[in-house]
Every structure is written in C-alpha cells, then in structure tokens.
Amino acid sequence: MISPKKILVSWQVRLGALVALAMVVGCGPAPVETAAAPGKSGSKEIRFAHVHAPDVAGELHFTAVAFGEALATLSDRHPVRIFAQGTLGSEREVYEGMQLGSGAAMTVSGTAILNNFDQRIGVVDLPYLWKNLIMCTACSMARWAGCWRRDWRSRG
C-alpha cells in the first residue's frame, strides 16, 4: 500500500506542475527572464520558495526538489531555483509577493496561511470531516477544479 505521505507529495508535485504550467503560458506573474542557452530563444527561471530547511527529508523541500527534477526532464528552458528557509520572506510575504509579481513564482506550504487569501480553502483544515487522506485529496481537487473552471468561464 502507498503511504499517505507519498500520496500527498505526489499531489503537491502535480499541483505545483499545474501552477508552473499556468505561469509559463502566461496566466500569472511572469517568471524571471534568464540568459538564453546556446541556440535557445531564452529561458524562464521559476523561483520556488518555502520556509523549511533545505533538507530532502522534509516534505516541502522534497516537493520543491521533485518538482524541479520533473520539470527538468520535460524542458531545459525552465530551470527551477529553490529558495528555502524563508529566504524570500515568511509564507504570507511570499504569497503577497506572488500576487504583486515579485519574489517567488510559486511556493508550497500548508493550507492555514491560504485561509487569509480565500476562506473556502479552510474546509480542508477541519480534522474530522474526512475519513482518510485519499477522500480529502479527491474532494479538494474536485472542488478546486470546479472553482477553477467557473473562474475561467467568467473571464470569457
């Protein structure tokens, strides 16, 4: 049986890849332009921030490293630079910087800080609402996808 931690990390990497893809195609603050590699039109560095120690044994840094490696296998035009231990600020400062288009292009953190930006996310913090991690993940991903589709339809 797959451990709940591996399932959670797998979904974090998938969600991170989706967010990065959205930014790369222009649906968010532009990643930093870096010098072009020989024969390339230019690459976009993705700045990935988190507030934990740069130790692969920790799930947040592991997620950042796994995302960077996964993206590197898909494209060498989008290098991932990881800013660990709150180098770019606290979680709240990183999210606010992302809204302004400065600092990190993406981050990974717990859901508690996200309640400050959208209170609907707080439902996943209710401890006895879910039978297990799989049910929680399935419900939150389905809810997120529905909100995302409604948001995009409203934009035209």
Q: What pLDDT, on the 0 to 100 scale, is given for residue 12?
A: 60
pLDDT range class, residue 68, cuts 50, 70, 90: very high
Residues 105 and 127 in one domain: no
Residues 47 and 2 in one domain: yes
Per-residue pLDDT tens digits for 95-153 = 899 889 888 888 888 778 888 888 887 777 776 666 777 777 777 676 656 655 565 56
Domain that holds residue 14: 1-32+43-109
Residues 94 and 129 in one domain: no
Global model pTM greater than 0.95: no
For range 68-81, the mean pLDDT: 91
Note whether residue 37 is domain-resident.
no
Q: What pLDDT, on the 0 to 100 scale, is given for residue 48?
A: 93
Residues 11 and 56 in one domain: yes
Note whether residue 38 is domain-resident.
no
pLDDT > 90? residue 84: yes
Per-residue pLDDT tens digits for 19-63 = 554 444 443 444 455 554 444 567 889 999 999 999 988 888 998
The residues, ordered by sequence, that sit 6+ positions from 43 with a Cβ below 8 Å of its Cβ are: 33, 34, 35, 36, 37, 76, 77, 78, 79
The residues, ordered by sequence, that sit 6+ positions from 17 with a Cβ below 8 Å of its Cβ are: 67, 70, 71
Residues 87 and 144 in one domain: no
Query: How many domains does the chain fold into?
Result: 2
Q: What pLDDT, on the 0 to 100 scale, is given for residue 65?
A: 92
Residues 70 and 3 in one domain: yes
Residues 138 and 98 in one domain: no
